[in-house]
Amino acid sequence: MSTIDGLPPLREVISTHDLRAKKQLGQNFLLDLNLTAKIARQAGDLTGSDVLEIGPGPGGLTRGLLAEGARHVLAIEKDARALPALAEIAEAYPGRLSVLHGDALEIDPLAHLTPPIRVAANLPYNVGTELLIRWLTPPAWPPFWESLTLMFQKEVAERIVAKPGSKSYGRLALLAQWRADARIVMQLPPEAFVPPPKIHSAVVHLTALPAPRYPADPAVLSRITAAAFNQRRKMLRASLRGLHPDIEVMLEAAGIAPTARAEEIDLEHFCALARILAEAGPQDRQR
Ligand code: SAM
């Protein structure tokens, strides 16, 4: 039996290539090609874009991305067992799929990609969060990518899109929303995967803004949000005390009540404080 792309169904691919899921590689596969095509559609119009896919595994999402018209897919996979299955896909889509074998945390894919570039991945959650943070903190903005469409544990997805006042709101929300639009576009139950993970998952779609929403020095903003959220129950005048002797005056100048707590403060106000602190220069009490 073949499928709409003429390739074998994913269950057959897995048994032919003996791709039994390995826990240490965070392997929870998506085997429903309708579902992977739906995820690929969340990545936007792929026809004029190169797509960087991390962790293609047996290639369900890869096939979705190619069927949705991606100009070229560059896939990075750590598990050598998946390479023959991916080679069959490359053959079915001549010149449109390249595969790099290795650890996505160690490979720089940029030399193999032509802009515009979109990123799509169903990755182990720990690798996904680490890559997301790297992609959100490039040396210069705008970044190499136009959009990121990434599967996360639902709880992490909620932290990425969280707004002030919610318990998920923290550094990840600020980092993601400062220079990108971030939305949850799909929710998936454990049964969508083989084997099913213990938790629910969600796909987050982030679109890079041309410039930050509010001006601020990334390093200063990061120091403020680290100090503020590391002691999120404390009032800001206490949690930020180490940053500057006059922090209370600075908080007031930024329009923030010194008695407020980190989770009440929105991005605009954190950026205002970062500008005031940067202007005052380095006067830290603690480094
Ligand atoms: N994308 C496939 C799908 O949706 O069915 C597989 C998803 S599975 C959750 C994660 C995939 O990422 C596996 O194929 C695994 O081997 C691969 N992987 C794990 N760690 C990786 C890393 N550091 N770099 C590249 N690939 C990795």
ipTM: 0.99
pLDDT at 126: 83
What the block records as the tokens of 124 is 């182990």
Rounded Cα–Cα distance for residues 178 and 182 (Å): 10
Using CB atoms within 10 A of its CB, is residue 174 exposed (0-12), middle (13-18) or buried (19+)?
A: buried
pLDDT at 287: 43
pLDDT at 260: 98
The distance from CA 118 to its chain's CA centroid, rounded to whole angstroms, is 12
| Residue 30 annotated as part of some ligand binding site | yes
Residue 120: which residues within 8 A CB-CB, separation 6 or more?
Answer: 39, 40, 43, 51, 52, 53, 61, 65, 148, 149, 150
Residue to substitute in 20, 23, 25 for testing ligand 1 pocket (most ligand atoms within 8 angstroms of CB): 25
The atom of ligand 1 lying closest to the CA of 55 is 12
| Residue 281 annotated as part of some ligand binding site | no
Rounded Cα–Cα distance for residues 231 and 69 (Å): 47
CA of 197 to the centre of ligand 1 (A): 14
| Residue 130 annotated as part of some ligand binding site | no
Nearest CA to ligand 1 atom 10: 123
Tell which residue, 123, 132, 73, 133, has the closest CA to residue 103.
123
> Which ranges of the chain have pLDDT less than 50?
284-287
Go through the domains of the chain in sequence order and give each one's CATH number: 10-208 (3.40.50.150), 218-284 (1.10.8.100)
The atom of ligand 1 lying closest to the CA of 53 is 1
* Pocket of ligand 1, beta carbon within 6 A: 25-30, 54-57, 60-61, 76-79, 82, 103-105, 122-124, 127
What is the C-alpha R_g of the chain?
A: 21
| Residue 103 annotated as part of some ligand binding site | yes
pLDDT at 1: 61
Rounded Cα–Cα distance for residues 81 and 18 (Å): 8
Q: Is the dihedral of CA 7, 8, 9, 15 positive or negative?
A: negative
Q: Which long-range contacts (CB under 8 A, 24 or more apart) does 264-270 make?
A: 264/164, 264/165, 265/164, 265/228, 265/236, 266/163, 266/164, 267/174, 267/177, 267/178, 267/213, 267/214, 268/213, 268/214, 270/174, 270/216, 270/221, 270/224, 270/225, 270/228
Rounded Cα–Cα distance for residues 145 and 154 (Å): 23
3-class DSSP state of 69: coil
Q: Tell me the pTM.
A: 0.95
| Residue 55 annotated as part of some ligand binding site | yes
pLDDT at 281: 79
The atom of ligand 1 lying closest to the CA of 193 is 5
Length of the chain: 287
Cβ–Cβ under 8 Å, residues 154 and 200 = yes
Residue to substitute in 33, 52, 78, 83 for testing ligand 1 pocket (most ligand atoms within 8 angstroms of CB): 78
The atom of ligand 1 lying closest to the CA of 56 is 1
CA of 40 to the centre of ligand 1 (A): 16
What the block records as the tokens of 127 is 């690798």
Q: Is the dihedral of CA 16, 20, 25, 28 positive or negative?
A: positive
pLDDT at 2: 66
Q: Is the dihedral of CA 231, 267, 240, 262 positive or negative?
A: negative
pLDDT at 285: 47
Cβ–Cβ under 8 Å, residues 69 and 48 = no
